[in-house]
Structure 1
Amino acid sequence: MPRLHVPVEHPALRILVVENEERAAKALVQDLVRRGYRADSVATGTQALRVHREADLILLNLDLTDIDGLEVCRSIRAMSDTPIIAVTERGSELDRVLGLQAGSDDYVVKPYGFHELLARIGAVMRRVRPLSSTARTIEHGPLQIDTDVRRVTLHGNPVSLTRKEFDLLHVLAIQPGAVVSRRQLMTQVWEDAWSHKGRTIDTHVSSVRGKLGSSHWIVTVRGVGFRLGGPPSMPVLGQAG
């Protein structure tokens, strides 16, 4: 039988394998490297949340031991447009729907063929590559957030934010009008789903408000979390804290 050959269309892709089975992770990374990809692996959802920004595509096992894989998928999707292919032994229609609703771009059920996986990687990248080649800028009134270079401007003037302050503002800005809970902020900004660190969040919120020149930019929804607001001239719903 002739050997099936699937060409590598994106040989420079950095692929992050999130897999808690060490042997499976090692074998998959080796196979991807042989195909010309740059691949690395982590074993937990917590590690994935820390390093996912370094990847061009994520192969995410949904059956993790520390954080539910669907929650990891939702958290990554809330922070970035990095393509995610969910990998799991759960093969029911409901499981597929939940995986796609959580933000994955594709869904692969174990056991799968490596050539099928390569084909799916290529198909996903063909869909998302046109989007990733353009600058991604979030505009909210006079506020602009350039996610590619991590730059914030207000009325055209640069706003100097720390890394965590930028991440905090970005998480709120990509969900305009939605209330983001404190736990979501801990997961998406501090990669810590279990610690409340209320004082840390409040300190960063206060700092961002100060740098933007108004407390109206971040609205406190008491007992729930925060959402993006606007300058005093823009209509703001809810109660600012």
Structure 2
Amino acid sequence: MILSGQAAAVTGAGSGLGAATARHLAARGARVACIDLTEDGAAATAAGIGGIAIAADVSDQVAVEAAFERIGDEIGPARVVVSCAGIGTARRILPRDGGLTIDAFERTLRINLLGTYTVMNIAARAMAAAAPLDGDGTRGLIVNTASVAYQDGQIGQAAYSASKGGVVSMTLPAARELARFGIRVMTIAPGLFETSMSSGLPDEVRAEILQNVPFPSRMGHAEEYARLVQSIVENPMLNGTVIRLDAATRMPIK
């Protein structure tokens, strides 16, 4: 698929991976809708790229439907949809205070997993109704975001790992189902990246983490995630699989 001239939608576009992806797609000629939980977050990115800003909770079906209706009306059906919205959760199953953490587990799955599914479901419906773009019958691409925690989650990441594992598990069945509409589905599982989730790490914690990153031995840059999205868009044979973007990282037990 050629990015130039296509409509794209990015969730979590107010910061981090989502903001970098929105900017990168726009720089390559895409018309980008920046979706974030708050209008201010979405607008901050959209203003710099000539995009449109939409405030929506990705786990709210009504809000996501309204977002994609607006996208269709203002810039055309989204042919590339990248889900970067999500939260990081660090809660033990049995915390030292003896409290229950079921509420944290439910909230994490609601945003990270249900939110990803909701966006995919509604985006696929819009794509399927659009005309094919080429002789292969291509109608669109959905890129979801997991995490290396789906395979090597640390202590305290049961909820986060479960939510990202669910995103991974949806990838192949979703790609198989949506193939007849000419819609591809891919998932990227980032390792350690410089985002708002990692910005507050103390120096000593950061140094300890980087000991487990073989090469390059640093945090990933959000632009590197965005460049992988571009590669997926442009390579039609990438479908139904998960790519770890992690510099050979394997997370330790804690």
Higher strand share: 1
Higher relative contact order (CA 8 A, sep 6+): 2
